[in-house]
């Protein structure tokens, strides 16, 4: 259904240079330009369309002129004005649509608690991709790269769309500027915001294929190899979290619309769809990744519950109960003098001890290797 947009305030939000960039990137040719307007033409099926971009938003008739342009572009492209309007608004943005297809969500609404979980898991998904855009790791623990965290803060969530339940993620990206070939030695690297969304697309596609392979072979190897393409336990957890608990009926789709202002390689995925039978494999992959990956620079804090050192030994084993993945766990560490005496002091005074090291899972327990910065907490 074609709907004309008549809201002057809505039309006024369109920015002239973004609209001009959209036209340039989608097959329109600039015919002329002046101080107040830029004229573009496009031939479609032997018909010529002319679109005039008003360049000054302070003009009294700016909304009227931009409305005329919107009507012309929609007619030339054979689309609705609402679709063209949405594309104008996101000319300088990559857009990710997360579609959760579930019989219980056909009306586009969902329970408030489910909404909170979807919002959190969408953020976790983007943060996992942002971390992988800085470095490939099987697991990202508490400390995340500052660049990744700050990029996620810049990402916006648009209005939800009809079609089961659709989350619209908008990531602004700067436009590409052409540099003459003799003016550069290497292909310039895209901005970090684009790399994050590109990493998200490729890692989701890789995760989907890894789950297929694991289902056929019964081996973890495909997930292990996928780490070098951006897959992490954090990504697995986010995808499984978006899925929720009803694995039999829900479907999950990711669609990527890339900013026309910054062209992207055609090999980059634009659509990834997860079927129900992948999710148990993805959950298990996350568990295995976390079990086998040491946690570097892990901050352990808790009570000393056991001391074990023989008279003829220079080191002793200290057991501390501290928080690991949000749960109290017994963690062992081997200490020599004078660190062991600090642990004895904390035990005798019933005070917590704090230290840093690499957390390693050993069987059903944990140990902290290379412990350092050992200190008794103040009362």
Q: What is the pLDDT of residues 56-81, one digit of tens each?
A: 999 999 999 999 999 999 999 999 99
Cβ atoms of 280 and 236 closer than 8 Å: no
At 193, list the tokens. 């915001």
- When pLDDT is cut at 50, 70 and 90, the band that residue 276 belongs to is confident
The most confident of the ranges 3-7, 161-165, 236-240, 362-366 is 236-240
Judge whether 332 and 365 are in contact, CB under 8 Å.
yes
- Residue of 355, 350, 342 whose CA lies nearest to 316: 342
Band of residue 349 on the pLDDT scale cut at 50, 70, 90: very high
pLDDT of residue 178: 72
Inter-residue contact 348 to 369 (CB < 8 Å): no
| pLDDT of 183 above 60 | no
pLDDT of 290 above 90:
no
Enter the tokens of residue 358: 């690499």
Which residue, 258, 253, 85, 99, is CA-closest to 167?
99
Q: Grade residue 109 by pLDDT with cuts at 50, 70 and 90.
A: confident
Give one DSSP letter per residue of 237-296, joined into a string: HHHHHHH-S-TTT-EEEEEEE--TTS---TTS-SEEEE-GGGHHHHHHHHHHHHHHS-EE
Query: Comparing 99-103, 121-125, 148-152, 219-223, which segment has the lowest mean pLDDT?
Result: 99-103
N-term to C-term CA, the chain: 69
| pLDDT value for 184 | 56
Mean pLDDT, the chain, whole residue set: 90
Q: How many CB atoms are closer than 10 A to CB 371?
A: 21
Sketch the domain layout of the chain as residue ranges: 8-89, 94-176+189-292, 295-376
Nearest to 238 by CA among 374, 351, 331, 139: 139
Nearest residue to 374 (alpha-carbon basis) of 337, 348, 329, 330? 337
- pLDDT, residue 243, reads 87
Beta strand residue intervals within 147-215, DSSP E: 156-157, 161-162, 165-172
Q: What is the CATH number of domain 295-376?
A: 2.40.50.140
Closest CA to 6 of 92, 94, 85, 73: 85
More confident residue, 101 or 41: 41
Question: Once rounded to an integer, what is the mean pLDDT over residues 263-278?
Answer: 91
pLDDT the model gives residue 33: 92
């Amino acid at each position: 259904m074609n709907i004309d947009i008549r809201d002057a305030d809505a039309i006024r939000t369109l920015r002239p240079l973004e609209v001009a960039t959209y036209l340039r990137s989608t097959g329109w040719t600039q015919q002329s330009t002046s101080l107040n307007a830029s004229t573009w033409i496009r031939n479609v099926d032997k018909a010529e369309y002319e679109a005039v971009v008003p360049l000054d938003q302070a003009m009294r008739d700016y909304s009227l002129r931009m409305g005329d342009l919107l009507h012309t572009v929609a007619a030339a492209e054979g689309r609705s004005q609402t679709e063209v309007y949405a594309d104008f608004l996101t000319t300088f943005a990559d857009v990710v649509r997360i579609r959760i297809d579930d019989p219980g969500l056909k009306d586009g609404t969902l329970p408030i608690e489910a909404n909170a979980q979807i919002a959190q898991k969408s953020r976790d998904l983007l943060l996992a991709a942002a971390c992988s855009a800085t470095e490939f790791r099987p697991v990202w623990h508490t400390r995340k790269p500052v660049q990744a965290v700050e990029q996620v803060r810049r990402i916006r969530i648009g209005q939800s769309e009809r079609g089961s339940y659709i989350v619209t993620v908008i990531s602004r990206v700067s436009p590409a500027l052409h540099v003459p070939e003799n003016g550069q030695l290497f292909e310039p690297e895209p901005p970090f915001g684009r790399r994050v969304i590109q990493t998200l697309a490729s890692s989701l596609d890789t995760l989907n294929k890894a789950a297929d392979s694991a289902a056929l072979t019964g081996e973890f190897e495909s997930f292990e190899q996928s780490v070098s393409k951006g897959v992490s336990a954090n990504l697995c957890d986010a995808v499984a979290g978006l899925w929720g608990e009803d694995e039999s009926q829900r479907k999950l789709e990711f669609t990527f619309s890339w900013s026309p202002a910054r062209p992207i390689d055609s090999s980059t995925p634009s659509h990834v769809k997860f079927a129900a039978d992948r999710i148990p494999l993805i959950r298990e992959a996350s568990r295995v990744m976390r079990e086998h990956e040491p946690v570097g620079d892990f901050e352990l804090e808790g009570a000393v519950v056991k001391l074990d050192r023989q008279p003829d030994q220079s080191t002793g084993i200290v057991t501390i109960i501290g928080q690991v993945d949000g749960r109290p766990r017994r963690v062992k560490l081997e200490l020599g003098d004078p660190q062991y005496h600090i642990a004895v002091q904390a035990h005798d005074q019933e005070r917590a001890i704090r230290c840093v090291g690499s957390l390693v899972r050993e069987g059903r327990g944990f140990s902290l290797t290379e412990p350092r910065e050992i200190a008794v907490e103040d009362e």
